[in-house]
Amino acid sequence: MSLVVEKFGGTSVGSVDRINAVADKLIERQAKGEKLVVVVSAMSGETNRLIGLAKEITQQPSAREMDVLVSTGEQVTIALLSMALHKRGNDARSYTGGQVSIRTDNVYSKARIQNIDAERIQTDLEKGRIVVIAGFQGIDEFGNITTLGRGGSDTTAVAVAAAINADECRIYTDVDGIYTTDPRVVPTAKRLEKITVEEMLELASLGAKVLQTRSVEFAGKYKVPLRVLSSFKEGLGTLIVYEDEDASMEAPLISGIAFQRDEAKLTIRGIPDHPGVAHQVLGPISDAHINVDVIIQNASAKGLTDLTFTVPRADYQACLGILDTLVADLGAKDIKGDDKIAKLSIVGVGMRSHSGVANKMFKTLADNDINIQMISTSEIKVSVIVEESKLDKAVESLHKAFDLEN
Amino acid sequence: MSLVVEKFGGTSVGSVDRINAVADKLIERQAKGEKLVVVVSAMSGETNRLIGLAKEITQQPSAREMDVLVSTGEQVTIALLSMALHKRGNDARSYTGGQVSIRTDNVYSKARIQNIDAERIQTDLEKGRIVVIAGFQGIDEFGNITTLGRGGSDTTAVAVAAAINADECRIYTDVDGIYTTDPRVVPTAKRLEKITVEEMLELASLGAKVLQTRSVEFAGKYKVPLRVLSSFKEGLGTLIVYEDEDASMEAPLISGIAFQRDEAKLTIRGIPDHPGVAHQVLGPISDAHINVDVIIQNASAKGLTDLTFTVPRADYQACLGILDTLVADLGAKDIKGDDKIAKLSIVGVGMRSHSGVANKMFKTLADNDINIQMISTSEIKVSVIVEESKLDKAVESLHKAFDLEN
């Protein structure tokens, strides 16, 4: 009898009808011999409704009270889903994060799970109950309510799966798996049956926002077999695997192409070069809570250096403002900026054992007359910055060149 | 520095504006030197919205899950009120029932409070914080969420006041105190400055639905000074006092007149009289969860007896049905019924030491040509059943006869 954790997000439980549909599915699964723990999010729209109420009171609500407020969203869902399961004959039990001791640190609104008490869950499972757990929330050591940040229900599901040593953790989403790239850009994009956790992490952080990055990290740490699948469409989705478990896997050269539009690039030129320049420039950017992504520093002639970096396009103007004041302080020459760029990455564990992958990428882009503005690499990924208007063509040509459609 | 528990119901916190108004009031109080604990209900309409969701799923939701569901209502309010207090400079803290260990039995949907952990509340009060507690909810010994039943927030407030030994517990309602009778019937009705807990209990159970009966019982048990006042209008409201604390009080003959419309009366006539007749008739009524109020049994001639009793008018038809089947079983003669009656009661601790109060009531009604159909008495109360159409006249004439308007 396999033990499975299933997670349904806000859209999947967004109405009474949807909740009934989830209950039908669960009862069907249980009849097939699965022991089930279900993690659910707030009904879609509910979290925003609650945040709206808070914002009517104050523009800067305390993080502690915000967590007390928004955690009610999942609590409503667990009660309703349990009722729907009762109606179908299962003696389901609902639990808030606190009730199954999902113990977190006390960083409100982005707490991290430290521990889960699996005993209560296991007792219920032994009685044939489906256990329904509120995602996204926990309690700190003093019993304060915490939340894990948006998308944190994925992390709850993975953490519960690890705690009860589940055979599989299934995350239901609005896509039916992980694709070689976005099918809206490349219609021949193919669903991957399997992907390694490292590739998944690169893809998740690069804009293929199917799973919360932290949940994937968590799954990797505890080697939880994790499957992403659609809550609206039948299918097996994509299974996230761990290399050492599946060393024989014939790894393709690359697994997928991720991209991110809405990027911007800034260059501060002619800075007198001395140790600490990067820190002097990027420190104030970081202090303004702006995430810097790709960074390149070039030593130029005469003891001067240029520093180029990318940020989300929404932060472009703020960055320009910060750099304006820095130019004089640093004795730099000038600033250049471009807010019409995009980032494109090829990801694959196959790169480790195959040379020439990056070169093939560069050649393909050159053949298609696409200029590379910046390059950044990791062990299993090559990212380039290109003109935004050339992005779609770049993705298409790479998808074909790396033979991802077959 | 006095220590006060204040309770605000659903209407008082029914919108962001109302929550802000409550926050203003609390900050003002604190500035005057009061240490404050606030108990709040769900925003008006919220509990019904949640019940509506449950009813869409199933007509018979489990009581456990219902409590998980509806307890979110108060949790939303405590978070929002705390935010509003933060905005006004107080470092308020919110707590769910579970977080301040409002321990109850595990009778879901009508749990009774057994114990409250006052330590956390007191620690916060010492730091100058206003403590905001979710009314109506608690946890059982296994950490399951329970609720106290509708109106249970009053009980929470009284229980918290008892646990922290508060100087006063103030219940804000939509009326500005307890009146000698309903001012809509008798415009000269007067607000009572004080009322004994026994009188309050008689009035509450007789239809003056200002406070939940259980909260008054609880207050009586722990001698919590309890004040009922308006959340919309300035004023001192009515203080509920304990006789032994205030023995010198010049008790008026009667304190108030309560009444209940929507009553019905049933008589089963000519039952062969033997022990157990009342049980045989009223047992099936009680099994149908119908509350029987006034009961009269008269032995008539020839070993026969008549039994008359009153029930809420909504249950009249159901009662007729039950009695119909009983008539034959019992060998009784017939059934008579009247669903156009009302109950009227005069209440006052002064009755204990003054004879003739009941008689004065009967004379007044007779002088006004109002026929008494049934009579029921307790130590501090006389109730009569009259024709519903004569109720207003009866209340008015008694209010005048007992000099309640001065």
pLDDT digits (tens, 9 = 90+) for A183-222: 889 999 999 999 988 888 888 666 556 777 788 888 888 9
- Using the beta-carbon criterion (under 8 Å), do A76 and B50 form an inter-chain contact? yes
What is the chain B residue with the closest CA to A57? Answer: B84
What is the Cα–Cα distance from A291 to A310, expressed in whole angstroms? 9
Q: Which residues of B touch A79 (CB under 8 A)?
A: 54, 65-66, 68-69
Same fold, A3-173 and A257-401: no
The pair of structure tokens assigned to A132 is 């329904």
3 state SS of B311: strand
- How many Å apart are CA B175 and CA B181, to the nearest integer? 12
Cα-based distances in Å from A93 to A96, B65, B185, B226? 10, 8, 50, 39
| Nearest-by-Cβ selection for A86 from B62, B68, B69 | B62
Look-up: residue for tokens 């999010």?
Answer: A41
CA distance linking residue B82 with residue B93, whole number of Å: 6
Residues 6+ apart with CB under 8 A from A283: none
Distance of CA A224 to the CA centre of its chain: 16
Chain B residue at shortest CA distance from A49: B76
Judge residue A398's burial from the number of C-beta atoms within 10 Å of its C-beta, 0-12 exposed, 13-18 middle, 19 or more buried: buried
SS3 (DSSP) at B360: helix
pLDDT (tens digit per residue) in B289-299: 888 888 888 87
Residues of A with CB under 8 A from a CB of B: 16, 19-20, 50, 53-54, 56-58, 61-62, 64-66, 68-69, 71-72, 75-76, 78-80, 82-84, 86-87, 93-94, 96, 98-99, 143-145
Contact B22, B28 (CB under 8 A): no
Which chain A residues touch B72 with a CB distance below 8 Å?
Answer: 72, 75-76
ipTM of the complex: 0.79
pLDDT at residue A101, as a whole number: 93
d(CA B85, CA B79): 10
| CATH domain A257-401 topology | VC0802-like (3.30.2130)
Measured between beta carbons, the chain A residues lying within 8 angstroms of B90 are none
Q: Between vectors from CA B70 to CA B64 and to CA B75, what angle results, nearest 5°?
A: 120
Ramachandran region of residue B183, left (φ > 0), alpha (ψ -120 to 50) or beta? alpha
| pLDDT beyond 60 at B207 | no
CA distance to A280, A292, A302, A311, per residue, from A273 (Å): 11, 21, 9, 23
Inter-chain residue contact B72 with A69, CB threshold 8 Å? no
**Under DSSP, is residue B78 helix (H, G, I), strand (E, B) or coil?**
helix
Which of helix, strand or coil describes residue B340?
strand
Torsion of CA A330, A335, A340, A343, to 10 degrees: -40
Quote the CA–CA distance of A38 and A58 in Å, as a whole number. 35
Q: How far is the C-alpha of A236 from the C-alpha of A255, rounded, in Å?
A: 18
Pick the CATH number of A3-173 from 3.40.1160.10, 3.10.180.10, 1.10.4080.10, 3.40.50.150: 3.40.1160.10
E strands of B108-209, at which residues?
Answer: 113-115, 131-134, 137-139, 145-147, 168-173, 194-196
Domains of chain B: which residue ranges? 3-173
Reference B331, options B266, B270, B267; nearest CA is: B270
Which residues in B have their CB inside 8 Å of a CB on A?
16, 19-20, 50, 53-54, 56-58, 61-62, 64-66, 68-69, 71-72, 75-76, 78-80, 82-84, 86-87, 93-94, 96, 98-99, 143-145
Tell me the two tokens of residue B247: 């023995």
pLDDT tens per residue across all 406 residues of chain A: 799 999 999 989 999 999 999 999 999 999 999 999 999 999 999 999 999 999 999 999 999 999 999 999 999 999 999 999 999 999 999 999 999 999 999 999 989 999 999 999 999 999 999 999 999 999 999 999 999 986 799 999 999 999 999 999 999 987 888 889 988 899 999 999 999 888 888 886 665 567 777 888 888 889 999 999 988 888 999 999 886 544 545 567 888 999 999 999 999 999 988 878 888 898 899 888 888 888 888 876 678 888 899 999 999 999 999 999 999 888 899 999 999 999 999 998 888 777 788 889 999 999 999 999 999 888 888 999 999 999 999 999 999 999 998 7
Sign for the pseudo-dihedral over CA of A283, A289, A290, A292: positive
3-state helix, strand, coil in chain B (%, to 5): 40, 25, 35
| Half-sphere CA count of A64, side-chain side, radius 13 A | 16
